[in-house]
Amino acid sequence: MKRAWVLYVGFFVILFTVYLLYVSNAFDFAAPKLDVINDKVQRFSFVNQNGKKITERDVEGKVYVTEYFFTTCRGICPKMNANMRRVYDAFKNEPDFMILSHTCMPETDSVPLLKKYEDKMLNGSLIKGNDGVYTVFYDSAQQKSPVINTTWNFVTGDKSELYKMARYSYLIDNNKSDTTGKIEDQFIHTQFFALLDKQTSVRGIYDGLKEDEIEKLIGDIKSLLKETKPTRSLKGF
């Protein structure tokens, strides 16, 4: 009788242990929990560096990062996109991941210019300086291989729609841009990246110039790629 009782107890201990292992793997308790910041991301239709139309359907079921830049920027954009290149390198082979880099100057950033910028970003060498800041070094005289890229999209489109996405969907306008004047006179210049989940909800906003924020972004992308059901509590930015 005593032996049978010990066997029963042992069986249930093993069963409970298996259950705990399953639950811990399924829910990944060690991963940070990311609240939903905005689940009202609007529909969009832009054109990427290959002349392909990119809409909300292209990012459905994918984790993706967004930003705003312009191709002739000599200030924060090179630093931001060097950091975005790090994100690209970490996830370029992940089919459920995408990057949307929106131009904030669609009046000058044509599809051919975006294509040249893509070549510079992906064929250039990513270098970390002694100060810890990353840059992309591009030697135009060196022969380059054709870019094969379906992950990082550099997009242009209607300026008013691009700016609405930054301000009201992604929430990454730095609040310094003019929203009262004519759209052709407005200018968004922000260093923030937005992270969206597979349900197209904003789950994080990061300073694209700060090392610790980029490291956090990479970790949060890994968490969202594993996630099946997001947290639905909303927080403001």
Range of lowest pLDDT (84-88, 119-123, 145-149, 190-194): 145-149
| Within a domain: 234 | no
Residues 6+ apart with CB under 8 A from 65: 84, 87, 98, 99, 100, 193, 194, 195, 196, 217, 221
In a domain, 231, yes or no: no
Contact of 197 with 203, CB cutoff 8 Å: yes
- Say whether pLDDT at 191 is over 50: yes
pLDDT, tens digit (0-9, with 9 covering 90-100), for 147-175? 889 999 999 999 999 999 999 999 998 76
Question: What is this structure's pTM?
Answer: 0.82
| Whether 15 and 84 share a structural domain | no
The average pLDDT across 62-80 equals 96
- The pLDDT of residue 125 is 93
User: Domain residues for 9?
Assistant: 1-30
Q: Percentage of the chain with pLDDT > 90? A: 70
**Same structural domain for residues 46 and 135?**
yes
Residues 13 and 119 in one domain: no
